[in-house]
Structure 1
């Protein structure tokens, strides 16, 4: 393993720790790291989705075992998100379109991390209408498959903003949502003969170790204020790189 692959593996490990601690799998972080390392854009989506599946599996198991999960909140989301993630994964955007969309996604994730790092809402929970969840799943699923993420960076802030669940429950739901959408998205990508980076095996090990550690902390209400802010800076730099070429 060369130095660049080692540095990417270290970055993926820390991203997996940070993201899995809040119920996410880290695809936007992996994309940021690989983009900063100069990997080909066509390899970012399949690599991020593959790593996402590993980490989301671990996070889902951890959160479900601690009863931080709601099937009634999840199922309306995934009945539309799964086919839409598959469809989005099967589509390949030209670089002129893919890079700006990916850059906007990363910058959005950065600002969301900055703005929510110190928030701990205690508002009254409101039961969502099923048709609204179905519509949200449709849109988030398609976008997640299109750009190569599990959709957690869209789903969690939406559920929190609308007060559709407690923070820990939302983290658990997001973990499972990310898992099923990442699988669907990767299956769609496989139709287009995806190209995986040479170091993906090493990065997978790093993601598994980081995902297990982060999910363990997350199930015990680990506070991630500072590290979310640091990750937000990485996402912001990577998003800007997508726009600047």
Structure 2
């Protein structure tokens, strides 16, 4: 099989898994492109563009399904977007942040996959606006630096602090990732010139994967959404730790 077709197939699988929980899949795309030997300069803008497509599809479908809450989202967006632009313009050595973030994601995954019930399964409360803006700023900067949409950081935080139930979390995460990915790409517009010629193939693949994943996300019950999110965090954490 042609290498580009094989990568496109793998990207579609990544999009399907991530979009099930409202994520765009950037961390999976970065891992896959690294495995297939794409140049680092190409990986970040490509991951953000694919993230925009899948998160846009997810936002539309989860909004139409009623799986969303604006009050949960907007304070995080206010803090995140300007810092995502700033983070997108900064280039740091990967070894400064990847191991730490990978460990945090794996610890979050363990908690989600643990049999003990999470309070947000049954009730949630609104996050304090000032705190959500501050947290959003940190997530925005981190997502801009890493070339991701920030959903892998936001979703477990909302659950663990009891600020969102699993179903509306999918729509909140999708819209957050959509806005944050656009901001991150805006912060490094020059990188768009490095997009690969195979981008239309990859875009079609992730949209098909996203269509399948969002269909699952709309139909799955809350406990299964948590397990799927835990699996997503394992994949992202292992990738950031450089274990594959």
TM-score, length-normalised on structure 2? Answer: 0.86
Q: Which residue of 2 aligns with 1:131?
A: 130
1:117 to 2:113 alignment: yes
Q: Which residue of 1 aligns with 2:29?
A: 30
**Alpha-carbon deviations, 1:197-216, whole Å to 9, x = none?**
34222111111110111011
Taking the TM superposition and a 5 Å limit, the aligned residue runs for 1:215-230 are 215-221=214-220, 223=224
Q: What's the offset of the Cα at 1:161?
A: 0.5
Cα distance in 2 between the residues matched to 1:175 and 1:90:
23
Q: Which residue of 1 aligns with 2:158?
A: 159
Cα distance in 2 between the residues matched to 1:73 and 1:231:
22
Q: Which residue of 1 aligns with 2:242?
A: 241
**Alpha-carbon deviations, 1:162-192, whole Å to 9, x = none?**
0001111122111100000001111112145
Cα distance in 1 between the residues matched to 2:143 and 2:57:
20
For residues 241 and 129 of structure 1, do their structure 2 counterparts lie closer, same or farther at Cα, with a shift above 3 Å needed?
A: closer
2:152–2:233 CA contact under 8 A, matched in 1: no
For residues 230 and 128 of structure 1, do their structure 2 counterparts lie closer, same or farther at Cα, with a shift above 3 Å needed?
A: closer
Q: Which residue of 1 aligns with 2:183?
A: 184
Higher mean displacement: 120-129 or 61-70: 120-129
For residues 127 and 24 of structure 1, do their structure 2 counterparts lie closer, same or farther at Cα, with a shift above 3 Å needed?
A: same
For residues 236 and 155 of structure 1, do their structure 2 counterparts lie closer, same or farther at Cα, with a shift above 3 Å needed?
A: closer
Q: What's the offset of the Cα at 1:103?
A: 5.0
**Alpha-carbon deviations, 1:109-147, whole Å to 9, x = none?**
455345423666335423221111111111101111111
1:90–1:192 CA contact under 8 A, matched in 2: no
2:86–2:144 CA contact under 8 A, matched in 1: yes
TM-score, length-normalised on structure 1? Answer: 0.86
For residues 44 and 107 of structure 1, do their structure 2 counterparts lie closer, same or farther at Cα, with a shift above 3 Å needed?
A: farther
Q: What's the offset of the Cα at 1:241?
A: 3.4
For the residue of structure 2 that corresponds to 1:241, the secondary structure is: coil
For residues 85 and 225 of structure 1, do their structure 2 counterparts lie closer, same or farther at Cα, with a shift above 3 Å needed?
A: closer
**Alpha-carbon deviations, 1:190-241, whole Å to 9, x = none?**
1456522342221111111101110111011263688767666654553343
Cα distance in 2 between the residues matched to 1:99 and 1:200:
28
1:88 to 2:87 alignment: yes
Q: Which residue of 1 aligns with 2:38?
A: 39
For the residue of structure 1 that corresponds to 2:163, the secondary structure is: coil
Q: What's the offset of the Cα at 1:42?
A: 2.1
What's the C-alpha RMSD, in Å, of the aligned pairs?
2.6
Q: What's the offset of the Cα at 1:6?
A: 1.8
Q: What's the offset of the Cα at 1:106?
A: 4.6
For residues 203 and 106 of structure 1, do their structure 2 counterparts lie closer, same or farther at Cα, with a shift above 3 Å needed?
A: farther
Cα distance in 2 between the residues matched to 1:178 and 1:22:
12
Query: Number of residue pairs matched?
Result: 239
